């Protein structure tokens, strides 16, 4: 049950974030739905691939499609006065998707008895897959690779699951909310990690 | 049999469209073959993933390789007086690939008893996969997301299959030709969908 | 055993090449690890997909993670006086990954009894997958499609395996070293293939 709810949250959140990016990039109405669907189900397909579920299992989730389509339609018809805040909303839904899918990836790897390092990598790759597909298709550098703190929170999700700190449904929901909240805080207050540049040092 | 013929049409058409894009981007001779092969088999791999066929089944299709290689060689040696029309030819072969793979995706999802919405999404993702890979590798925005009518025709293919309007081989071939013809008409006469831009409205 | 050693060489080499590209693109410390991991395991995931191994088998390779993480840390802490040569080092590790994964792809396709053309295509797609993912995520055109000789050496690996010239472990290691060395020579001395440009001829 927890698993299904995380799937729904992750898929719908990525669908909305893809739709918002498509509107920012001035795609037509169908481009908005397409980028939303590709982000949501591309992210889900990468998750399925990485955790060993057949990708074609996606088609069984008819309800999920309808929720995602409905959510994108609401976003498309959103009142215009909210528009200046949409980049923030895009990041908000991306954070929900990241958190939900990262926890799923970590849960899968932990259940299979993989070592902690594999659980963490599974969390990062599963959580960031949807956003990577969205950003590549929109011609942007993937959010996970740009200068904000992003993957750290997926690592945290992997760590919490990997050390067994989130074994009950209620703890998983709390972990989901913590990870999403930390991601939201990190772009709101523009937290950064140190970077080491070849160019800067070479010059 | 219909399924195999659609596979051959789709694979060869995407191989040629990849080769043409590679020549437009001024890649060397090997780049032309590589982008053609990656487009054809990347599109086929995405189709296989989405419809639950092992991706490694691609290697059994030795004849398909030879047809694709032969077709790309013909395109590479094409008389130069045809060159000014090659972007149109690229779109032509892309339309054939889109139509063939969209119908395959829809047929699979319908046969598995999935709801109509899933059949339509399967048609769109399966049909556009090859072109998405080609355009990403060439550093272009995917055709399916740019401002022309593209995905509408894959949706039409999904709809026709999903409501059971194309249950015989002859009807499937007619559907294939209608979908490809509509796509060709839409870029020839530059049909467009309305778009809703965040930037335009925010300013 | 040979297979495992080629896996380790390919995965670690792609991890390092991803980390170097990330430092060239001025990503932060986590971006360096993420691009390294995504390159290494994305390349491995594409290899697994293409040769019919479940992608989730990646998570069993705990030791491989640790080696890759250790190698990326060493690269990250590398003395600054080596920096001007890092593009060359990036190409060096990419060549190792290309050679190792191309041979694996060819071995798989040959073992399954596929025709020579399929063995060659398997070598090219398996060998170039990791580099394609790395370059797409870094916003670059894939190395395999740019104007240097790259895929030729993967084709050579496929040919050697396909005609049965590399049936013993020692011959496979020699083939690995020859393919990697030829790739290194081709960028060191800037070997090129002829190219046929649409734009140049159309004008």
Task: Categorise residue C71: left if φ over 0, alpha if ψ from -120 to 50, beta otherwise.
Answer: alpha
What is the chain A residue with the closest CA to B125? Answer: A38
**pLDDT(B115) > 90:** no
Q: How many CB pairs under 8 A join A and B?
A: 100
**How many Cα atoms occupy the beta-carbon half-sphere of A41 within 13 Å?**
31
**pLDDT(B194) > 70:** no
Are B59 and C122 in contact (CB < 8 Å)?
yes
Phi and psi at residue C37, to the nearest 5°: -65, -45
Cβ–Cβ contact B202 with A under 8 A: yes
Percentage of chain C beyond pLDDT 70 is 91
Q: In whole angstroms, give the CA distance from residue B56 to residue C27.
A: 35
Looking at the domain assignment, is residue C201 inside a domain?
no
Q: What is the pLDDT of residue C195?
A: 55
Chain A contact partners (≥3 CB pairs within 8 A): B, C
Mean pLDDT, chain B, integer: 84
Looking at the domain assignment, is residue B15 inside a domain?
yes
Looking at the domain assignment, is residue C203 inside a domain?
no
CB contacts under 8 A, B 136-165 vs C, are 136-139
Contact C73, C16 (CB under 8 A): no
Q: What is the pLDDT of residue B45?
A: 84
Q: What angle do CA A132, C120, B69 make, to 5 degrees?
A: 90
Q: Over range A49-56, report the average pLDDT.
A: 80
Q: In whole angstroms, give the CA distance from residue C51 to residue C9.
A: 18
Quote the tokens at residue B18. Answer: 């990849």
Q: What is the 3-state secondary structure (H, E, C) of A6-66?
A: HHHHHHHHHHHHHHHHHHHCCCEHHHHHHHHHHHHHHHHHHHHHHHCCCHHHHHHCHHHHH
Looking at the domain assignment, is residue C202 inside a domain?
no
Quote the tokens at residue C171. Answer: 């011959």
Looking at the domain assignment, is residue C199 inside a domain?
no
Q: Over range B161-172, report the average pLDDT.
A: 88
Q: What is the pLDDT of residue A201?
A: 46
Looking at the domain assignment, is residue C127 inside a domain?
yes
Candidates C102, C142, C141; CA nearest to C13 is C102
Chain C contact partners (≥3 CB pairs within 8 A): A, B
Candidates B36, B118, B119; CA nearest to B75 is B36
How far from A154 is each of A11, A18, A133, C128, CA to CA, in Å? Answer: 17, 20, 17, 28
Quote the tokens at residue A54. Answer: 């057949």
By residue range, what is the domain housing residue B53? 2-193
Q: What is the pLDDT of residue B83?
A: 65
**pLDDT(B1) > 50:** yes
Looking at the domain assignment, is residue B141 inside a domain?
yes
Are A59 and B152 in contact (CB < 8 Å)?
no
Residue stretches of chain C with pLDDT short of 70: 79-83, 147-148, 193-203
**pLDDT(B181) > 70:** yes
Candidates A145, A92, A152; CA nearest to A123 is A152
Could you report the per-residue pLDDT of B75-99, keeping only the tens digit for each? 888 766 666 777 788 889 999 999 9
Total number of domains in chain A: 1
Buried/exposed code over B143-162 (b: 16+ C-beta within 10 A; e: otherwise): bbbeebbbbbbbbbbbbbbb
**Where does the pLDDT of residue B203 fall: very low under 50, low under 70, confident under 90, or very high at 90 and above?**
very low
Q: Over range A70-88, report the average pLDDT.
A: 77
Are C41 and A114 in contact (CB < 8 Å)?
no
Looking at the domain assignment, is residue A59 inside a domain?
yes
């Amino acid at each position: 049950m927890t698993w299904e709810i995380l799937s729904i949250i992750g898929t719908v959140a990525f669908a909305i974030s893809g739709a918002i990016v498509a509107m920012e990039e001035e795609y037509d109405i169908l481009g908005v739905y397409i980028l939303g669907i590709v982000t949501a189900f591309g992210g889900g397909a990468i998750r399925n691939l990485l955790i060993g579920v057949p990708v074609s299992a996606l088609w069984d989730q008819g309800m999920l499609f309808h929720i995602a389509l409905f959510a994108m339609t609401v976003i498309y018809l959103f009142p215009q006065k909210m528009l200046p805040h949409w980049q923030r909303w895009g990041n908000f839904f991306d954070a929900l998707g990241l958190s939900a899918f990262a926890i799923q990836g970590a849960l899968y790897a932990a259940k299979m008895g993989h070592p902690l390092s594999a659980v963490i990598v599974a969390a990062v790759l599963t959580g960031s897959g949807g956003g990577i597909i969205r950003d590549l298709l929109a011609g942007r550098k993937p959010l996970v690779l740009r200068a904000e703190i992003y993957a750290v929170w997926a690592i945290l999700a992997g760590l919490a699951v990997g050390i067994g700190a989130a074994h009950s449904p209620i703890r998983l929901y709390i972990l989901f909310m913590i990870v999403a909240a930390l991601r939201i805080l990190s772009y709101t207050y523009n937290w950064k990690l140190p970077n080491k540049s070849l160019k800067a040092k070479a010059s």
